[in-house]
Structure formats: structure tokens, C-alpha cells
Amino acid sequence: MIKWKLAVFAVGLLLASPLLLLNVWGIKTSMWAIDATRANEAALAGEAPKPVGKMPVSPFQWIRDNARVRAEFDQTAVNWRRSVYVSDSVAVEDLLTPGEASPDPAFAPLYAEARAARHLIGHCEDVLAKLGTKCAVSEASANAARDGSYTISARLSYAPSYDLGTPEKMPGGGLVTASTRLGENVSDDELPLNSAEARRGFMDQALAICESIRTRHGTCIINSISITRVVKRQRRADVEAGLPPPPVRLRATAQFTIYAKENRETQKAFREELTALAAAT
């Protein structure tokens, strides 16, 4: 009988623990709010305010943080936080299947929006060749241009084929993210021409940067590679002379994430490290 009562007590205590933690956190938060209010009142009165610490963190914050870390470092799942952004300029006719009639002009924007994903999913070939084992269009859009064409864009999310590394638990550990332009030392006139080779070249550079980062920090995720088209306006004199328009070139920016101590110093150092690696790669 006594053992049964002890077992019931232990189970009850276990079930009540989250509520106890929340109550303690609630009390600490209330006390922090009182101290913060008093400090504000003292400052308004021209008095020296008593130092106030940071707001108490929820006891379940680590669960939420760890869930995101697990999702970020999942090698098998197609995750929208790991994506390649691509775009193209097309006419409505480019989106038609063989023998398909052109849509009513009033419905052309909706048609372009609906067909954008199908048109750009072919870029998954680049992603699968360089970055991933799986690829899917997780988002697509279309915007009308003045000349009647459409700029269609897509987010190609992927499951990585490269090694992300294994995050090691550390005090104050978290996801630290920074971005850099790829081809840092290249002028607009020297940017690569719009092609699969150029897109894959940017991915190769991002992979090389990520490998260096992983060697130093133990982890690295390529969160995004955004590849944008650079279209230079043709000068009127060139148009009148019948010269062809300037070629479409590509520019790319990549975002990387590591698992490290999450603070301003780490963020700044990581950003500077990325800039240096991009310039040297």
C-alpha cells in the first residue's frame, strides 16, 4: 500500500513539474517587471536607477531552440530554411505546353503565377547536381513587367548532400547566421552569363566556403543561395544603331549558419569571416 502511494506521489510530482517550473518562471518574470518599472520611474525622476537584469527565460525555451536546431541539421528532410532562389524572365507563350492556346490577356497574370513553379522546377537539376539529394519548389511567384513579359521566381528547397556537421551542446549555444555576396571581387560587367554553368559555379563557391567554415567551427549550413538576373539597360544610341541588347548576367548572395555561442561578437566575427572567405574563394 505504501509503495503504491509513493508511486502515485512520484507520478503526480512528475506531471506537476512543468506547472511548478512555469509558476516559478511567472514569479521571476513578475519580479523582473516590478524592478524594471521601478528603474524606469527612477530614471524619469532623475534618480540613479537600480540595475535590472535580463528578463527571465522560459524554462521550455531550450525545447523550442533544440527543435529548430534538430530541423536545421536534419540531412534527410527538404527544409524551406535551406533553399536556392532562382528567377527568369519569360513571355506567356514560354509557359505554354505544345499546342496549347494562349490565355485571355485578362487572365495572363494568374496563368503566369500558376505556371511559374512548373517552369522553374527544372533548376532543381542544378541543386541536385551540387547541393542536395532531394529538391522541391516550396514557393513560386510571377510579376508583370512593362514590356508584357513576366519575371517568375521560385524557392527551391532541398535536403543537403553535403555534410552539415554535428552541433555540440554548449552554454549559450545557438544558430548564428550571416550572408555574403558570392564573386565578391567581380564587377557587373564581369559577372557570369545567365546559364546553368554559372548557377552551378555559384553553388560550388558556396560549398567551398561552407567546407572552410565547417573545418573551423564544426558545422555549416547553406541556408540560401539567391541568384538574381542583372539586366543592363541598352543605350538609345545602341538601339538606334541596331546593336543587340547587353547579355543577361547573374549575381548571387549566400547565407550560412553555424552552431556557436550566440552573441554579437560571434555574429560580427562570423560575418567578417564570410566576407574574407568569399573574396578568397
Report how far residue 141's alpha carbon sits from residue 153's, in angstroms, rounded to the nearest whole number: 5
pTM for this predicted structure: 0.71
Confidence (pLDDT) at 66: 75
* Residues β-bridged to residue 219: 165
Report yes or no: 85 and 251 within 8 Å, Cβ to Cβ.
no
| Helix or strand (DSSP H, E) at 2 | helix 2-44
* 95 pLDDT above the threshold of 80: yes
Confidence of residue 17 (pLDDT cuts 50, 70, 90): very low
| CA-based radius of gyration for the chain | 27
Confidence (pLDDT) at 137: 94
Report yes or no: 269 and 276 within 8 Å, Cβ to Cβ.
no
* 15 pLDDT above the threshold of 80: no
Report how far residue 256's alpha carbon sits from residue 271's, in angstroms, rounded to the nearest whole number: 9
* 169 pLDDT above the threshold of 60: yes
Average pLDDT, integer, range 130-158: 92
Report yes or no: 158 and 77 within 8 Å, Cβ to Cβ.
no
Give pLDDT tens digits for 54-81. 555 555 455 456 778 888 888 999 999 9
254: how many CB neighbours lie within 10 A of its CB?
Answer: 25
Residue 51 DSSP SS3:
coil
Q: Strands 79-90 and 150-160, how do they pair?
A: antiparallel
Alpha-carbon distances of 114 from 13, 83, 153, 210, 243, rounded to whole Å: 55, 20, 12, 35, 35
Confidence (pLDDT) at 215: 94
Give pLDDT tens digits for 203-225. 999 999 999 999 999 999 999 99
Indicate the angle between helix axes 264-280 and 196-217, nearest 10 degrees: 130
Residue 78 DSSP SS3:
coil
Confidence of residue 174 (pLDDT cuts 50, 70, 90): confident
Report yes or no: 278 and 180 within 8 Å, Cβ to Cβ.
yes
Give pLDDT tens digits for 255-277. 999 999 888 899 999 999 999 99
Confidence of residue 230 (pLDDT cuts 50, 70, 90): confident
How would you label 26-58 residue by residue, b for 16+ Cβ within 10 Å and e otherwise? eeeeeeeeeeeeebeeeeeeeeeeeeeeeebee
Confidence of residue 99 (pLDDT cuts 50, 70, 90): confident
* 160 pLDDT above the threshold of 90: yes
